[in-house]
Structure 1
Amino acid sequence: MTAQAHTQSSYDVIVVGSGAGAMTSALFAADQGLSVLIVEKSDRYGGTSAISGGGIWIPNNHYFKALGGNDSPELSMQYLKAATGEHADEGRLRAYVEHAPQMIKTLTQNSHVRYAVADKYPDYYPHLPGALPGGRTLDPELFDTSLLAEELPNLRKPSPSTLLMGRIAWTARDAHTAMARSFGWQWLIFKLMARYKLDFKWRRKSKYDRRAALGSSLVASLRRSLMDRNVPLWLNSDFQDVLVEQGRVSGIKVLTGGKVLELTARRGVIFGSGGFEQNQTLREKFLPQPTHTRWSATPPGNNTGAALEAGLNLGAATALMNWAWWAPTIAVPGEEKPRGVFAERAFPGAIVVNSLGQRFVNEAAPYLEFVDAMYQDNRKSAGRSVPAWVIFDGHFRFHYAMGPLMPAQVVPDTRLRKEWLNTVYWKADSLQALAAQIDVDAAGLESTVHKVNQYAHTGVDLDFARGGNVFDRYYGDSNIKPNPCLAPLRKGPYYAMRLDAGDIGTKGGLLTNQHAQVVREDGQPIPGLYAIGNCSASVMGTSYPGAGGTLGPAMTFGYIAALHLAASAAPSGRTFAPVTAASL
């Protein structure tokens, strides 16, 4: 839907951005009787959410309770306070724990959004008090994209790495079954491929599955829900700045159709426009070095920090500006962005080393901690860990995926693109020859492999305790004993792939209060301005408590912002009845 198709220039609420948090806030604002406009910089809606896993971390959710799960606000707060430490505000944490279960229950009751509990997906820090071995992460169900009708071509396409064979939709639960090679995984793959192949009518229209999964499912179901409410979404509409009247944010300036329009927001503006990871200048100003936009797994050209800069111009406070939602990435020629490496690092038979040939981290660690360890070791080793290298042997290559490489039993080396050799992967008959190709110390690499092979035999990683907790083992191979995350590297040829210090968005941004209002350095809110998602400083501080720790808060504080706007007095003095948790 284009801006040129509309003449209306005044709304109750204007939402900047079209990711999951932004669309959730728009949906709840519309359901409170407010008129809403969404403006999106790109020619596609969905933002980073559309290419994500779509999971949301929701403590004490009703799905888990229905399965007999044991969680509570007190247990959730205990875990979050232990995870975030001194880097998070307790008031915001309590607002999140209180409203997150309400948000998802209300959303699924009144929209096309559907989730299922990932009851076996553990919290990322299982050693901390209050952690659970599963139940807080929710996984999107599949969504029939034909329901989007004319809006389907405008949906941002998912990353190839989130689709089976690059085109077949599957849930995160399905992916886990296959990756962990759990009982029945081969039959599951067969069923998914058969479902896709037999959908002849849809395949005549598109090579991609009719169904959307993961983040694509979440975004598609939210967009369909907004279509039901006739909420307009303007594409190719680049936010320029906010409008301010008598100290209150009263609207925005947006570049669309070659013109700058001034749009009024009677109640307020909600920033849901992502972080600043695609702005090289801001990366160099705030993030650890070295850093580069081309390492980020987010859509190029978007998330350039416009909301951050607009807030700073108003005197907004910021926090966590030197942090990102770190994730190691692998660049693939011809693809618009690199691929994040999330699960594969836990598979047995692959290790990660610096240019000294030495391990520096538990390879199966959460991806935020993994890249943080890259930077820490890079400082200690005088620049030898960014980039790092993942090393594996022929046995691993045959059985497991790594980045864009499907297992060789499915896609052997002879079927890989020729240009990938010595760009995406390196290959040699010996570790010494491989080390020479990638400029890694050969003696150090051989010593490390020898040590890891001993750990694989005993099942105990004496250096980094890989496979020593329930989170590590989630993506390990359940058939490998005694440790599902450890296997020897003995069978040539040997392979290497470069890992960059990538991200799935920045973590720092505009500081907000428990109502999602942007605040100044003195803690006072800037009237009429709200921020959610990655353009705001994360409620999680420097931690990543569980899968969905980005989208869960984005959607929850989008919900909170919508209710707060609906309950507030408009400049004209007109008010809506306050909305409370008890009324939902």
Structure 2
Amino acid sequence: METYDVVVVGSGAAGAMAALRAADAGLSVLVIEKERKFGGTSAVSGGVLWVPNHKLNGAQEDSREDALAYLDANITVPVDRARLEAYVDEAPRMLAFMTGTGVPVAAGVWPDYFPDAPGARSDRSLTVPTFDGRKLGDTRYPLMREQYNRFKLFGKYAMDLSETFTLMMQAKGWKRTVANIYRRYWLDRETRKLSHRDRRFTQGAALMGELYEKAFARGVELRTETRLEELVLGESTGTVGAIEVSNYGRRYRIAARLGVVLAAGGFEWNQQLRERFYPVPGLTRHSSTPEDANRGEALLAGERIGASTEHTGEGWWIPTMQLPMPGSANFHEIHQAAFDVGRPHSLCVNRKGVRFVNEATGYDRFGQAMVADELASGANCPCWLIFDAQFRAKFSAGGLMPDILMSDAKVPGDWWDHYVFRAESVAALAAKIHVPADALSASVARMNAFARSGIDEEFARGANAYDQMFGDPSVTPNPCLGTIEKGPFYAVPINNGDLGTKGGLRCDARARVLDADGQPIAGLYAAGNCAASPFGNSYPGAGATIGPALTFGYVAASDIIARAGNAGGRVAQEIEA
């Protein structure tokens, strides 16, 4: 049986960080990944990490106390206090370690998702600049999971967050941005001989490229097409000392001398687990994570040896819609609509034609509102995004691109009245989508009045910094509110999609997996969406999935290092409170 000091299950941000931290201390590390490509959900994400009190590049004074006050104000379910405080304390140390290995990180200007709460800030969300994927080597470069088409220009050209928002808003200079992206790609002739993939790894791919470049340099081994089947307990010790895996049907065991770190993602692609845990299960197909990837195998393997779970009734929600996949018969592509639902000249209604949420709120809170309204009214999930020609001219609606890029004449004929609905009046649109015409007309009329006054008297849309960040500054008096009065009128169905699951294996402040009695299972750790979120049901800010994934991957490896008595390697500098 093969033996490593540490075996990591899953190759996303949590797994990569655990591997990097352990290898940096001189331990032998194997990362297994069941898919053919590595990087996990993190590689196809926005790549943002939420780190309070980071002190990066002379950031304005944040503090442990402010961070905890902010979290206390927006977490509304019981959570493990020690674990929550461990996140606030260890996240800056993780960041210091990560930047110490050479990973560049920049602070953005992104309001926390509860901007009016005590302790809220606009500098806790961090990003990693563009990474040259060729640095991974010509063999590994095309094997990192590739960004979705929705994150690329014309489904081909990589874009960083700045470029994405410039094009999304058709901001000044957007045409020049398009030309520069196009030029960069086609002038890179050497890479075009190797792969269609842009060598510029952006957003989540940039983060994962940086982490794996450092991890591979420290001897971390990566094995793809290798699925976790069972966790193996020592007969006399009760310690997880090995895992059983499969590779194209062949099963074998790998020993872990010091510990196993589960970082294999959540369970959003397992319909049985959704039905078991979620009050409104939704469909796996509505998820915006890689198709059929996160099926909860690690959670189930943990439960079979007595592990407990928590916070499993919540996902990292995000509104999505689906459209036929170009060039592939009988396949559909999921498109995120996180910011589209809150653009001016639009509103969202349930199937009774009634608004139920501030559409410009954070995407997770939008999803929570969908669930609450479905439980209350039975007429949500899906809901409807309603907009007019003013919206259509400038903004996307999920995968329906703005008129300037995809005019109505260019929309495939089979989309109309099946994926996208269009009519010359609000009443006629209501008839097409089977929503009461009087209710929808009344909702539109109220929104028009709010747009003219600049005050949303129902849900206060556009009244805080987060809402306004994604509004249109050319629209006054409220950048998030615009009249819906210029025909034709449109509707697209919006599903309650997700970025993964918030609930998972219950862990302590040291990332150790706990049994039903709250006792650690020796040798077993979990991080990322495989573990329950330290934030319970809350989504405090952009990067609140990847921030804890990196942090508890780091914490797990640090605990293993401490137990091994191995003080070698690079140790993170202490961060003053």
Deviation of 1:196 after TM superposition, in Å, equals 3.2
Residues of 1 paired with 2:306 and 2:247: CA distance? 27
Select which of 426, 446, 450 maps to 1:451.
446
| Displacement of 1:197 | 4.3
Q: Is the contact made by 1:140 and 1:171 (CA closer than 8 Å) also made in structure 2? A: no
Farther-moved stretch of structure 1 (334-343 vs 122-131): 334-343
Higher mean alpha-carbon deviation, 495-504 vs 434-443, is at 434-443
Hey, what does 1:493 align to over in structure 2? Answer: 488
Stretch deviating more after TM superposition (547-556 or 403-412): 403-412
Aligned to 2:269: 278
Name which of 292, 296, 311 aligns with 1:301: 292
- 1:214 is aligned to 203
- TM superposition shift of 1:301: 2.1
Aligned equivalent of 1:140: 128
Cα deviations by residue, 1:242-288 (Å, 9 ceiling, x for unpaired): 11112100010000143111110000100000111111111111112
* Aligned 8 A contact 1:436 1:442 in 2: yes
Paired position in structure 2 for 1:557: 552
Q: What TM-score do the two structures reach when normalised by structure 2?
A: 0.94
**Partner of 1:354 in structure 2?**
350
Deviating above 6 A after TM superposition, structure 1's stretches of 4 or more consecutive aligned residues are none
Equivalence map 1:157-556=2 (5 Å):
157-203=146-192, 205-245=194-234, 246-334=237-325, 337-381=333-377, 383-556=378-551
**Cα distance in structure 2, aligned partners of 1:84 and 1:355:** 30
Q: Deviations over 1:411-452 (max 9, x none)?
A: 212223333333331112221222222111111111111110
Higher mean alpha-carbon deviation, 149-158 vs 331-340, is at: 331-340
TM-superposed deviation, 1:170? 2.2
**Quick one: which amino acid aligns to residue 69 of structure 2?**
Q
Change in Cα spacing, 1:189 to 1:157, as seen in structure 2 (3 Å) is same
Change over 3 Å in CA distance of 1:480–1:187 after alignment to 2: farther
How far the C-alpha of 1:86 sits from its partner, in A, is 4.2
Give structure 1 stretches of 5+ with no counterpart: 1-7, 570-574
- Letter in structure 1 aligned against 2:21: F
Provide the rounded CA distance (Å) in 1 between the counterparts of 2:216 and 2:248: 22
**C-alpha distance in structure 2 between counterparts of 1:176 and 1:473, whole Å:** 14
How far apart are residue 560 of structure 1 and its match? Answer: 0.6
Alignment of 1:8-157 (within 5 A): 9-63=2-56, 66-111=57-102, 113-118=103-108, 120-132=109-121, 134-148=122-136, 149-157=138-146
Q: Please state whether the residue corresponding to 1:331 is helix, strand or coil.
A: strand
On the 8 A contact 1:300/1:337 being kept in 2, the answer is no
Cα deviation for residue 154 of structure 1 reads: 1.5
Q: 1:398 to 1:238 in 2, by over 3 A?
A: same
Evaluate the alpha carbon distance shift between residue 264 and residue 336 of structure 1 in structure 2; reply closer, same or farther with a 3 A threshold.
farther
CA distance in 2, matches of 1:459, 1:91: 43
1:497-547, Cα deviation, whole Å (9 max, x unpaired) = 111111111111111011100012332111000000111110011000000
Counterpart of 2:268 in 1: which secondary structure?
A: coil
Residue 314 of structure 1 deviates from its aligned partner by 2.0
Q: State the secondary structure of the residue aligned to 1:242.
A: strand
Question: Secondary structure of 1:11's match?
Answer: strand
Amino acid of the structure 2 residue aligned with 1:141 = P
Residues 581, 216 of structure 1: CA spacing in aligned structure 2 closer, same or farther, 3 A cutoff?
Answer: closer
Q: Indicate conservation of the 8 Å contact 1:180/1:474, yes or no.
A: no
Amino acid aligned to 1:555: L
8 Å CA contact 1:139–1:173 kept in 2: the answer is no
Cα distance in 2, alignment partners of residues 99 and 164 from structure 1: 37
Q: Are the counterparts in 2 of residues 299 and 337 from structure 1 also a CA contact under 8 Å? A: no
* Aligned twin of 1:3: none
- After TM superposition, the structure 1 stretch with the greater mean CA deviation from structure 2, 219-228 or 446-455, is 219-228
CA distance change for structure 1 residues 114 and 421 in 2, over 3 Å: closer, same or farther? farther
Aligned-residue Cα RMSD (Å) equals 1.9
**Post-superposition offset of 1:201:** 4.1
Distance change (3 Å), C-alpha of 1:182 and 1:393: same
CA drift of 1:97 comes to 1.2
**2: CA distance, partners of 1:258 / 1:327:** 35
Aligned letter for 1:139?
T
Percent identical = 41
In the alignment, what sits opposite 2:328? none
Output one character per residue of 1:155-196: Cα deviation in whole Å (capped at 9) or x when no partner: 111111212332222222333344345554454444334433
- Sort the Cα spacing of 1:336 and 1:158 in 2 relative to 1 into closer, same or farther, 3 A: farther
In structure 1, what is the Cα distance between the partners aligned to 2:521 and 2:7? Answer: 16
SS at match of 1:138: strand
Mean alpha-carbon deviation: is it higher for 33-42 or for 204-213?
A: 204-213
Q: Specify the code of the residue in structure 1 equivalent to 2:294.
A: N
Aligned partner of 2:397: which letter? M
Q: Could you tell me how far 1:582 is from its partner in structure 2?
A: 4.7
Whether contact under 8 Å (2:241, 2:256) holds in the other structure is yes
**Number of matched residues?**
566
The TM-score with structure 1 as length reference comes to 0.93
* In 1: Cα distance, 2:539 partner to 2:212 partner: 27
Whether the aligned pair in 2 keeps the contact of 1:296 and 1:337 (CA below 8 Å) is no
Deviations 1:89-110 (A, max 9, x none): 2211221111111212221231
Letter in 1 for 2:282: T
Where structure 2 has 5 or more consecutive residues not aligned to the other structure, the ranges are 326-330
